[in-house]
Amino acid sequence: MSGHDKSHRTEIIVAVIGLVGVLGAAVIANWHNLFPKESIKSQKFGPEEIYCNGSGQVCSNRFARDVTTRGVLKVQYDVPSTHCGPIEIHFYLDGERVRSTGTLGWRGAPGQFSSLPLTSGQINLGPVSSGNHSVSLEAEGEAVGCNRGQLNSWLGNVQVWTSVLDK
């Protein structure tokens, strides 16, 4: 290899190293734009009274909310102070039943019902695909307390956690 070829090769290597350095500096300087930080956002929905159709314990009307997330989707149902009988909550994601609570109690419940939880606790429905999703809750009653064999109404009261991009 001649001296001229070695010199030309060295110039190319130096140019490539310089270009990599400039590109690397540009990526570092714009990291927050290229890979924005995600944070978790919490929203509370309700209480909203849901009136039930039919004559059974499963309320055919659901408490539904649309949410947008980048993957994280968690929910929590809290029993409102106006409930006077046990309830089970079924969680739906985009129309598909995905989770259910055990029996939840009510404030001031007597005897064996006094130890029932008053919240579902945080339930992880994700990770889900980035975008819009529908979260809905369906209540199922039990003939105890003020429930005389038919669930007539209940209160939708839910907290939802989603991931969002920081600006």
Over residues 9-48, the pLDDT tens digits come to 887 887 778 777 776 665 566 655 556 577 899 999 999 9
Report pLDDT for 142.
Answer: 95
CA 166 – CA 131 distance, rounded (Å)? 16
Averaged pLDDT, 3-13: 76
CA 52 – CA 79 distance, rounded (Å)? 17
Averaged pLDDT, 58-72: 94
Are the CB atoms for 99 and 133 separated by under 8 Å?
Answer: no
Report pLDDT for 3.
Answer: 66
Report pLDDT for 7.
Answer: 77
Report pLDDT for 37.
Answer: 72
Are the CB atoms for 60 and 53 separated by under 8 Å?
Answer: yes
Averaged pLDDT, 131-144: 96
My answer on whether omega of the bond before 110 falls inside 30° of 0, hence cis, is no
Q: What pLDDT, in 10s, does the model give residues 98-121?
A: 999 999 999 999 999 999 999 999
